Amino acid sequence: MPSANATRHSRTASACARRWTRRAPRPSSCSPTGATTSSAGPNALRRPAVQLLHSYHGFVTRLTQAIEHQDRVVVQAERQLERAAETLQQQELRVASVLKLIERRIAEIEKTSAQREQRALDELASRAAWNRLAAATTRF
């Protein structure tokens, strides 16, 4: 299906061709019967106009194809950008999950460390109390 640009370019080329054929010089008639003096015939002067029309048409066709190709490239780049954005969002979610897990593990390690330290302090206080009690009872 031709794009809007292709249709516009086709109409532009057609308009240029119509203007060119209107400007093309007509063969002059030198005889009273209206016969041309040119040996090539009445279409001899129209051939360059037709060739020029074909040239314009070819140019417009190639230009339209290039524009359509660029449109496809843009669409493909937009899709690639969308996929990259989705991938980035998924990766950021994974990173956030890992960070949350790391925070939990650090909190768990700190809690375990604090519990060990508390047990060690309790053990030390208990031994100190037993040592004081033992020292107090052995003096007598």
Would you kindly state where each structural domain of the chain is located, as residue ranges?
4-25+42-138
Which of the residue ranges 23-32, 43-52, 86-95 would you say has the lowest mean pLDDT?
A: 23-32
Give the pTM: 0.45
Contact (CB, 8 A) for 42 and 62: no
Model confidence at 30, pLDDT cuts 50, 70, 90, reads very low
Q: Which two tokens stand for residue 99?
A: 């960070």
Is residue 123 over pLDDT 60?
yes
Contact (CB, 8 A) for 24 and 42: no
Is residue 23 over pLDDT 70?
no
pLDDT of residue 135: 83
Question: How many CB atoms lie under 10 A from the CB of residue 41?
Answer: 11
Instruction: Determine the Cα–Cα distance for residues 68 and 86; give it in Å rounded to an integer.
Output: 27
